[in-house]
Amino acid sequence: MPESEASQPLLGFDYGRRRIGVAVGQRLTRSATPLTTVRARDGKPDWAAVSHLIEEWKPGALVVGIPYHMDGAEQDMTHAAKRFCRQLEGRFRLPVHQAEERLSSWVVENRLSAREQANTDIDAMSAQVILQDWLQQEPND
């Protein structure tokens, strides 16, 4: 992978029909940080907010968590998240990587006490888990 590509940030997304968690990460350190949550209405993202994040961070690629049942079977949200991937590719002309994910929100909620959950952007932290896992699994080139 070219040095310039390795130094570009990545944006990770935890797609939901009402909220989309967003995290930022980088390949050099293989780390991710929760960023924000973008609202969605009836499964339609706030594209102006997504555009603003892409303009601000200038990512080299996007990573979207694709949820599956524990047995690996697809679910309704699997198809919705894949549609979101296609929409991101079409709108922003950036590489979009699909990261298989299961239970990212559950992982975050179990790390936090009830008080911490009330004051935490769980969707953004779920996006962090998705992006962090993807970065850890990405092969070194």
Per run of 10 residues, the mean pLDDT along the chain (length 141 residues) is: 72 95 94 95 94 97 90 86 97 95 60 52 87 84 50
Domains of the chain: total: 1
Q: Could you tell me where the beta strands, DSSP code E, fall in the chain?
A: 9-14, 19-26, 31-41, 44-45, 61-67, 96-101
CATH of the domain at 86: 3.30.420.140
Cα 22 to Cα 56, 68, 122, distances in angstroms: 13, 19, 10
Show the domain range for 28. 3-137
Q: What is the pLDDT of residue 140?
A: 58
Look up the pTM and report it.
Answer: 0.85
Q: What is the pLDDT of residue 68?
A: 83
